[in-house]
Structure 1
Amino acid sequence: MQHLFLMEFFGRGQSGRSYAVTERVRVFKALQKNVRLVTFDYNPQYNDIWQAVAPDLEATHLNMMAYYQGDAIAGGVRVERLHDHQQVTVVDRVFNQSDRLVGEIYYGLDNKTVSRRVAILYNADGSDRIRLLYQQNKVAQVHFWQAGQLQVMSFTALVRQFLQEITAQEPSIIYADVLEEEMTQAYLGVSNAVAKVAYIHADHHVGQHQILVGFRNLLRSRQFDWIVTGTHNQAIDVQTEWQCRTADIAPASINVPQSVTALADRRAMSVVVVTRFDRIKRVEDMIAAVVQAHQQNRDINLQLYGTITDQAYYTQLQKQVTDAHASNYITFNGATTDAVATFQTGQLTVFTSRTEGFGRTLLEALAAGTPVVSYDIDYGPRALIGKGGKLVSDGRVDLLANALVMGLADRHWREQASEAARQQATQYDAPHITARWADLIAELEHCDENNAD
């Protein structure tokens, strides 16, 4: 039995989805399952990306484009990028290890943004294998050569054909981590699979009227055997709204240290945050809340750590701090490679995301024994924090500020919340997550036994 995790693409930057699928591959490997991550876009550097992200998980990645090119790219590729006189990317030329040209990607400008126009994949003899024609950086049409015959099809049709081929090779269970509507349609068209599972992230399902189109079609189809969610309350909501079988399994596990730095040994009156500087995180609300809290207690300070995914937004946040004359107590400290250790430098953390796929940083804060003050949003904070922090009404910066002031003033509450946070985090350690997957896998593989009967 092969277990196939389907994603449109896999990101080098370890987005939440990419991180989650890597963790799932690792769990399935530990359970001695034949598991593969399956991607579909044309990225000649996928081998390097996968090796950088998951060097311990070799031979577990299958890309559709590499599958169809076969021997032409055996042994790996290198990319030669050509620019015009203004240093705008014009073409990527892809060579295999024998320095034979095996692919080209041509670019153009759309509103000053570099976008793909055409991607050509060659066979080992130099003939065309696939041509991808793009509009607004998405594949609009595919030219596919099979046994010398040209077929013109949609990208959805190519994905469906590819999945039909690989699921026909041996019994397969597919797990769809899908955002794009076209990919949903492709997955639904696969008839060979023993079972189909879809993973819905929490911020992609907040009631029927807010669900993403791809997920809405996925749920309406009733063609998936199981829907996996990150939290129990979301699983209940999906099951109630769509009358489908659900399982709640956290997208990632957490290592809870045996001991953490005592609150008394951490920086006094310090709120420490590890985040991604992206507008969905509403860091501006964190800053505004600490500015208000600082008016009541001049010792309160905010230490911000994280990666920058939106430079304009990051610049806006810096200006917000400067305009509030808060630079002496609100500090941008750059990225951290150890979130759990970083959280152990503060008394509290604050969480203000607009929506949350699950909230790995929440788990890292809880594992560090750092109480969380958060907006009450579905599904992460409400499901994860428990007695390890405080929830306030979504969008109420004044309540957030008051909770910070009260929490930092109450040592007894912080100590209790710190202990409760660590207990809460243990529910999401590796043994718990592995056991949940093992139970679901047993049910899914039982489907194959029933079909055989």
Structure 2
Amino acid sequence: MYFFVDTIVDTQKSGIEHAIIRRLELFKMHNKDAKIITTNYHRTVYASLTTDGLNNDVINLFDYYQKVADVPFTPATLDTLVLPEHALLKKSVNHQYQVVLNHKVIMQITTFADTQKQIDLIRYLDDEGKTIYIDYYDIRGFLSKRDHYDTNNDWLTVEQWLDVTGQPVIENYHQINFDNKVDVTVYRLRGKDNVWYTFDGVQGYMRHFFDELNLAYNGHNAFIFDRASETAWASTHMVTPNYPIGHFHNSHVTDTDDIMHSSLNGFFTFMIKNQDHFHYMISATDTQTKDVLARWPKMRAITIPVSYVSDAQLANQVDFAKREKHTLIVAARLAPEKQQIDVVKAMVQVRKQVPDARAEFWGYPNGDYGDQVKKAIKEAHLEDVISLKGYSSTVNQEMDRVGLSVLSSRMEGFSLSILEAQSHGLPQVVNNVKYGPSDLVIDGQDGFLVENNNIDMLAAKIIAIMSDEQLQTTLSANAYTDARRYSAENVWRQWQVVTDDYENNYLK
């Protein structure tokens, strides 16, 4: 079995989640048993997994110990809630209800926003209106978690995750530290043998989960750790025999202009310092693999792209005459490292040369950067020119409509956005940064590489494409051709280095 280890696969997915899902498709295509492993608690993720058709492909740490993976969807609603005798249920504000007994509010109920009567959480109150405990319901309908509070000091004392019978299976105990802040001090987990185990950190019970899962699937399984920072300690401290693989999903250093001496990207520090533990360390591009080996010659570093282009997509080529030639797309989360504000600045120049030019930003915001982008658009008076479309799982369909793609990142690991745009025949203007753009975009053939933060150069290349229909059409045709480098067959051939070693050497 191949396990792809992540934290969560939610509705709004980062590039890592998209890469894992594409890998799962590829492994299934070649009849390899594979599952996605997630470690974070999330009460509503079942809905997005259902939408994505992944319910049978994901094993979550909390679901595993709560034994709820196969629980049917049976929403807990206000209509099925049993209230104390003589208690009254009253609506207070949107999605908020109160349970009143003897003129006192004894319970406060919140319902899920999209289903007014489905219970999200219930807060239980004492006679003075202080919180005793809060019950959290999974979107599937069962009581999933209970938080206990100290009513004298109003702080969280114990978190309990419950099985379907209401018995605790995971517990976190809290106390006040010297800075008068609440800290988790003890983590407890009831293992598959019904014995309670105690840990001093989340990595401890994560490691225990990996080991139990490994044994449940007959041991000696392959684990590909995609979230290096979150799972680093657990991945290197498993006690059952396994085949661990590390993955660089971004630059391994903070300064790509000084790869030999730069400090390490914190996400990968532990993995790099324990590189001998891993059978392979995967980079998504040859450029990064070469840089990794230049600094650590003994590392078992190999290149495997994080996605592929399906045969169906390779065969689906849109007539460029039907496109909105002067509309560009930026498909990336709104984040400082993606630098969408540079595109806003470039669009000021573009509009002077191409008056009908427009831009669409597709992606969810990280932190307050979305607000910064909105402010930049307003200050540039481009509110009617640049549209913030938000996150969409079908943004690839928009790529068949627009005329070019732009990516202004200061750092990448591969860039699924570039490959997706290329496979949809979009000419591209992308920053020539490590890693990904120069491995994917062939400068002058299917798009243009520009200097990072060079707004004039960025604008000039966008104008060049929009102003020359023949150039735009030629770049598009070449993009379709160049995308074939990342066909499913070609990418799987690179994966076979790992699968052959695991199956033919390690297992035998």
Using the size of structure 1 for normalisation, the TM-score is: 0.83
Q: Which residue in 1 is equivalent to 2:160?
A: 120
1:50 deviates by 2.3
**Cα drift, residue 285 of structure 1:** 0.6
1:357-396 to 2 correspondence within 5 Å? Answer: 357-386=413-442, 387-396=445-454
Deviations along 1:107-161, one digit per CA (max 9) or x if unpaired, are 99xxxxxx98743023566443221246999965302346565634322221222
**Are residues 91 and 52 of structure 1, via their aligned partners in 2, closer, same or farther at CA, if it must alter by over 3 Å?**
farther
**Distance change (3 Å), C-alpha of 1:134 and 1:275:** farther
The letter of the residue matching 2:288 is: Q
Counterpart of 1:180 in 2: which secondary structure? helix
Once the two structures are superposed, residues 144-181 of structure 1 have per-residue CA deviations (whole angstroms, 9 ceiling, x without a partner) of 34656563432222122222223234131111112425
Distance 1:77 1:141 in 2: 33
Deviations along 1:54-78, whole A, 9 cap, x unmatched?
A: x1x4532222223223379855686
Q: Is residue 5 of structure 2 the alignment partner of residue 6 of structure 1?
A: yes
The total of aligned residue pairs comes to 435
Structure 1 gaps of 5+ residues are 109-114
The change in CA–CA distance for 1:163 and 1:139 in structure 2 (over 3 A counts) is: farther
Q: Of the candidates 261, 264, 273, which is equivalent to residue 211 of structure 1?
A: 264
- Whichever structure has more helix as a proportion of its residues is 1
Other structure's SS at 2:458 match = helix
Alignment match, 1:448: 506
Report the equivalent of 1:167. 214
In structure 2, do the counterparts of structure 1 residues 106 and 20 end up closer, same or farther at CA, with 3 Å as the change threshold?
farther
Matched, 1:64 2:61: yes
Superimposed CA distance per residue, residues 14-53 of structure 1 (whole angstroms, 9 cap, x where no aligned partner):
2211121122222222222221212222334443342222
- The residue number in structure 1 matching 2:241 is 193
Task: Give 1:8-407 correspondences, 5 Å limit.
Answer: 8-53=7-52, 55=53, 57-70=54-67, 74-75=71-72, 80-82=120-122, 91-94=134-137, 101-105=143-147, 118-123=158-163, 126-133=166-173, 141-145=186-190, 147=194, 151-169=198-216, 170=218, 171-180=220-229, 183-205=231-253, 206=256, 207=259, 209-221=262-274, 222-242=276-296, 243-255=298-310, 256-295=313-352, 297-299=353-355, 301-310=357-366, 312-332=368-388, 338-386=394-442, 387-407=445-465
Asked if 2 retains the 8 angstrom alpha-carbon contact of 1:339 and 1:361, the reply is no
Amino acid at match of 2:283: T
What SS is found at the alignment partner of 2:333? strand
- 2:134 and 2:356 mapped to 1: Cα distance? 52
Contact in 2 for aligned 1:91/1:106 (Cα 8 Å) = yes
Larger radius of gyration: 2
| 1:197 Cα deviation after fit | 0.7
The residue matched to 1:347 in structure 2 has which SS? strand
Match of 1:348, SS state, is strand
Q: Which amino acid aligns with 2:477?
A: E
- Alpha-carbon shift at residue 101 of structure 1 (Å): 4.4
The alignment's C-alpha RMSD in Å is 3.5
Q: Pick the aligned partner of 2:485 from 424, 427, 441.
A: 427
Instruction: Say whether the 8 Å CA contact 2:43–2:138 is kept in structure 1.
Output: no
SS in 2 for 1:276: coil
Structure 2 distance, partners of 1:214, 1:83, is 37
Indicate conservation of the 8 Å contact 1:73/1:102, yes or no: no
Separation (CA, whole Å) in 1 of partners of 2:430 and 2:139: 50
**CA distance in structure 2 between the aligned counterparts of 1:179 and 1:431, rounded to whole angstroms:** 27
1:318 counterpart letter in structure 2? K
In the alignment, is the contact (CA less than 8 A) between 1:278 and 1:313 conserved in 2?
yes
Task: Work out the CA distance in 2 between the residues paired with 1:66 and 1:120.
Answer: 13
**Alpha-carbon separation, structure 2, partners of 1:432 and 1:106:** 54
Q: CA 1:200 to 1:133, structure 2 compared with 1: closer, same or farther past 3 Å?
A: farther
SS in 2 for 1:291: helix
Distance 1:236 1:107 in 2: 53
Task: Report the Cα distance in structure 2 between the residues aligned to 1:60 and 1:190, rounded to whole angstroms.
Answer: 22
Query: 3-state DSSP class of the match of 2:24?
Result: helix
Cα-to-partner distance string for 1:270-323 (whole Å, 9 max, x where unaligned): 43333333333211111111212333x143512214133258433433343333
The whole-number CA distance in structure 1 between the counterparts of 2:479 and 2:149 is 49
Query: Cα distance, 1:195 vs. partner?
Result: 1.8
SS at match of 1:277: coil
Say whether 1:437 aligns with 2:495.
yes
1:94 Cα shift?
3.5
Aligned 8 A contact 2:229 2:267 in 1? yes
Deviates more, 1:212-221 or 1:253-262: 253-262
What CA distance in whole angstroms lies between the structure 2 residues aligned with 1:441 and 1:50? Answer: 27
- The Cα of 1:223 is off from its aligned counterpart by 0.6
Letter in 2 for 1:26: E
TM-score (norm. length: structure 2): 0.75
Q: Secondary structure in 1 aligned to 2:398?
A: helix
Question: Is 1:418 aligned with 2:476?
Answer: yes
Give 1:394 shift.
Answer: 0.8
What SS does structure 1 have at the residue aligned with 2:476?
helix
**Counterpart position of 1:112:** none
Offset of residue 334 of structure 1: 5.7
Greater CA drift, 146-155 or 172-181: 146-155
Structure 2: gaps (5+ residues): 76-118, 126-130, 176-180
Change (3 A) 1:194 1:337: closer
Aligned pair in 2 of structure 1 residues 163, 383: CA closer, same or farther (>3 Å)?
same
Equivalent pair of 1:349/1:371 in contact (CA under 8 Å): yes
SS of alignment partner, residue 363 of structure 2: strand
Shift of 1:253: 2.0
